[in-house]
A and B are shown apart, each in its own frame.
Chain A
Amino acid sequence: MQMTAVEKEAQTSAAAGSSNREIFLPPERQRIKDGGTPHVSAKNFSIFYGNFEAVKKVTADILSKYVTAIIGPSGCGKSTFLRAINRMNDLIPSCYATGTLMFDGEDIYGRYTDEVQLRKKIGMVFQKPNPFPKPIFDNIAYGPRLHGVKDKKTLEEIVEKSLRKAALWDEVKDRLDRNALGLSGGQQQRLCVARTLAVEPDILLLDEPTSALDPKATAKIEDLIEELRGSYTILIVTHNMQQASRVSDYTMFYYEGDLIEYAPTKQLFTNPRDQVTEDYITGRFS
């Protein structure tokens, strides 16, 4: 697929697809510094659980170095779409995808795609913090070691750099040898972000990363997203619409597997173009 023609193709596909809804492609894409290449491009992309189509013929570009929030009611397909980007859905036997999903010009579901390398480039943080029952240092060094880094000094540098990026270094630098399970929930979640950053990914997928955290820890994670904005392409699934409006540049709204609206966040939360979006974000859903 030619990336330069994505927008035109997307509109054509949307018109030809099963859904009659207009797909709102972000109008500011030409401002992207890396030449306007979308980081992830979906074209007529569907995900099935057996016969059930959980994500329906989605056509959209995820823009490089921006924060994109994915919102929608439970079961709308938002997490399924997120997990498809680093092929986490492959672990579910009945799950399969149709259409194309491209990452940096490579087909994510291509026959020769190396899933391990893909997940190195596309890291993921889950709803519940899941540190390994190991020392803090080993948690961060786990990924780099897996990818062949053995030099102690190099590992120390990676650990410090990752913890600094995750705004956790100052809190744990004197106890790197302690078990990570001894950290608070918010610290554990930032540790998981640091662990993801340690393998130098291009994309961060955050699946409801603060839903198990208190407001203070949530604020730290949101501050962290702000810090990482511009350095990574970030996708965040959240049920908290205020959080989506606070942290993201663009917002996707899914409903019953359809991508209903995809627009700059400031537009979607002040003047959405679709009535379904309007009803959902204003709480008028029956």
Chain B
Amino acid sequence: MAERPVHEHIKDLSNSLVILSDKVLKNFSLSMDALMKCDNMGCSQIKLADGEIDASEVRLEEQCLIFLALQQPVAKDLRAIITILKINNDLERIGDLAVHIVERVPEVSSEFIRQFDFQKMGAIAKEMVQKSIQAFVNRDRELAEEVCDMDEELDAMHRAVFKKVSTEIRQADVNQTTQYIVSMSVSRYIERIGDHATRIAREVIYLVTGEIVRHSEGSFEKLIESLKD
């Protein structure tokens, strides 16, 4: 199979996406560390890095749009560019959520935060993002499906936090109410990061197969089921 400059260009865009994902994951890790240590010192650094992530996202989107306009790709080349555009957007949102997490750090104490398993939730979310990007690089459908399955565990943990907070906040001291709400928000942010990783994984499945698997059969039923809990 002959590779042409146009295909080298797609590889360059893919590499830019992987570099962006490294930046996002690093920022997310820093944000989780700051949360677990209740250390607000790194907040400005994380926000600064998020500014760079935003700029990279815009730059990559511009490059993709120029590529679409000038090269008019079809078939798997078209799917590759569309996938890069969508993953790019998801990564930027993950970057924002990392900032949201660190912004809540001043409102909670480390003792309070330790009653929730945010360490594990963060680790799962990070692994999901890493694996979804790895699935993109290797065009690995199975790994992408594994990421989709991992999301259920993260959702279950988020629901457990929700239950705990909704039960305990009623008897809680007024001074602790804010901390419960912050914990609920942090849980939600991490769960959203898992959702973005799942979206990335589904985009990879589209890239590999050409099938759009979002809103696939059963997802609505699962949602209704989870609300019953």
Contacts and interface: CB of A to CB of B under 8 A. Distances in A.
Interface of A: 241-242, 245, 269-272, 277-279, 281-286
Interface in B45-96: 72-79
Contacts of A271: 75, 79, 209-210
27 contacts: A242-B72, A245-B74, A269-B74, A269-B75, A269-B78, A270-B75, A270-B78, A270-B79, A270-B210, A271-B75, A271-B210, A277-B75, A278-B75, A281-B74, A281-B75, A282-B7, A282-B73, A282-B74, A282-B75, A282-B76, A282-B77, A283-B4, A283-B6, A284-B1, A284-B2, A284-B7, A286-B2
A107 to B, nearest CB: 37
Contacts, number: 38
Contacts of A281: 74-75
B2 A270 contact: no
Contacts of B209: 271
Nearest to B4: A283
A247 B154 CA distance: 47
A278 B76 contact: yes
B75 A286 contact: no
Contacts of B4: 283-284
B3 interface: yes
Given A270-B79, A270-B210, A271-B210, A286 B1 contact: yes
A278 B73 CA distance: 11
A284 B210 CA distance: 19
A281 B71 CA distance: 12
Contacts of B77: 282
A73 to B, nearest CB: 14
A279 B209 CA distance: 16
Nearest to A279: B1
Nearest to B1: A284
Contacts of A286: 1-2
A279 B4 CA distance: 12
Contacts of A269: 74-75, 78
Contacts of A283: 4, 6
* A277, A279, A284, A286, most chain B CB atoms within 10 A: A284
Contacts of A277: 75
Given A283-B4, A284-B7, 19 more contacts: A241-B74, A245-B74, A269-B74, A269-B75, A270-B79, A271-B79, A271-B210, A277-B75, A279-B1, A281-B74, A282-B7, A282-B73, A282-B74, A282-B76, A283-B6, A284-B1, A284-B2, A284-B3, A286-B2
A281 B76 CA distance: 10
Interface in B195-227: 209-210
Nearest to B2: A286
A279 B3 CA distance: 10
A272 B75 contact: yes
Nearest to B78: A270
A281 B6 CA distance: 13
Contacts of A285: 2
B196 to A, nearest CB: 25
